[in-house]
Structure 1
Amino acid sequence: MNLPVQYNLNHIKPQHFMLHSVLDNILSMTTGLCASKMSFILLWEEGFHAAHHHTQGIKSFQSTDFSVYKDRFSKINAACFYAPNTKYHTLFQDLYFFKLYEQYPKVLVFPIFDNNQQMCGLIGVLHPENPSSIDQNKHALKELSLYTAKLRLENVMERVNLQPKPTLIQSLNQLPGAHFELIISTDGQLALPSVSQELIQMHPHFWEIEHQTSPEAIFKILHLMDFQDFRAYLLNKELSSPIEFSYALKEDSEIRKYYMVRINTYLNDAGETLCFGAVKDISLQKAYENVLEQINFDISHVMRRPVATMQGLTQLIELDKMNRETVKEVASKLQLVSNEMDTFIKKLYTDYQKRWEDLDKESQFN
């Protein structure tokens, strides 16, 4: 079976945590009572679809098209639904969930009703090929559908009505920082990326995003690379590991700004690649790094010359071969070199102290 991974915390809505806490036990109980390989619950009003596999445990399906299930099942007045072969049954044959199975098993489904006796969901099992008692399974599913409806009313609907709804992120603009997200389909097509206003306003380079309608053009503005090159890179990396890279942009004043892009990628159960990225201005960090690199260069190269001179002079001093006047001359040169080093070290300290102070002032305004 090609089942999706166990439900991912990045996908689940707060309300779905509550549903899982209430219904996961019902699912495992359903699988056991009906001696089935898998049971499932689908609630289209809550956008909730979970299943229990007899060996793999609870699974969550975030890519289900709930509107299709609602339109297809809610208007049918039936006590239960039974399909001897989902491959050919008109109710099930083109539904994504049932396409996951290679052997197209039998399926037995009961409706779940809300407090107005309107169908709001389904509970069912992949029926065993040789059920010990189909009547027993029908009875069990009927009772479980009633119990599920009761739990939904008591634990979900009442909480929604009585408690304030949690604040959920409705758009990227509600997140702190500059963000974007994009989806790559299973056949490698890029959907139109979503970009926060904070990112667009970050630098003149990004202003062009609002005037582009091509997904590939927006992608190139964000990444400074071709989409196909990025996709080829994705195919050769671990999906769970983030992508990080930085690039430099010039402003009108010719000042160079540096930006770090970090992208997290993962697959949904439909096989699409979801990418969520953040862009951060690291110009100050880069400036600090440049100062440190310059200090390292000055110490290792500029100061190297007087040190080498001192080393050469000290090698000339062989008291048993040099007269007093020669020793005095060498000592005088050593004094000049040491004074030069002292002056350079003081100047180096003053220059870099000013650089650090300037960077600290700049950081206070960003």
Structure 2
Amino acid sequence: MSIPKINNNQIFEPRLQILHEQMDSVLKMLCNLTKADQVFLSFWNDGYSQVYNEDSGFYTTEDLECRQLEKKFKSLFSEVIYISNARLHTLIQDIKFFSTSGKNTNVFLLPLIDAKDDRIGVLGLNMTEEGAFDFGQIVHQIESIGEHIVSIYDNLLGKNAAFYTNKVNFEHMPAAFLNFSINKDAELLDCHFSNHLIRKHPAFLNYSGNSMEKLEPLLQMTLQEFTKMLLKSQNDQSIEYVYPYLVDGKEKKYFLIKIHVSLSTDGVYQCLAFIDDISIHRKYNATLDQILFDISHVMRRPVVSMRGLTNLINLNEFDRNEICEIASKIKVVSDEMEDYIRAMFKIYEAKQEAEYLL
């Protein structure tokens, strides 16, 4: 949990603390997923505004005032709104949080709408023009995360949100996502995968369309084991771990899974997960370890040999023939070292090309 850096309420609101506990990890996930400069979330009826970026972490700011946001955005449609050059746009230029943005800052805004079709807040992110970004991909990501946030908010109000995972559309989400519901008896209620996950994860080889049978291979644990882990805490929680996956009984791939778990009022765990193939990172690390070994052991031998030979010359106790013989040995050692460096370069170059082909 992150406590806001600025809190103007003289009496601390437990509800705000609960909102931070439930929303912070989801905001961080959105920021990491979109590579945004910062993401922000506001529920204006609760006086809740939260900002996250990788440099400062979570913080609140008076520049993002709830009632001003409500006045501006309460009548907007439900679609994602894209604003280029935020500092000069008439919709948001009088909001200090945006007016101090850089000249070329792009803003994505999504009004948050509850089950009664009421606007309860706004989710958004800032993205500079430094480096290209995929417009369609960011829209899909903010829409899906926004629906997940609304569902958590509904649970907080005591509404029955057991249906919400069927509303979140991950079918065309350009990332490896899954969302599922499970009760305290380890019974899987529903489960959905993004098309990207189905295409990229080896667990879906020969996939029959039955999502229930694929969840345990994706989690790399049984539903009973997963539920037992959840039961250790009665609060919303974030889980993160890495596991190896054997492909066709030969190649081993490694996956990082991040899961946000929200406990609804009816005792159902609503889980949103992101899975990333980190195999290439592990292979790069293994290659770097091999390079360090080669430098510290294999290449060190000819270097030590040359140093010893030059030390002999420094003794200045040799005639011309002996010096020529030592010089000849130095040439042999230096040629050996040059050949080894070339061979090592070709080996690592071939490994790198093989990784790109993967």
Q: TM-score range by the shorter chain?
A: 0.3 to 0.5
Give me the TM-score of the superposition, normalised by structure 2.
0.48
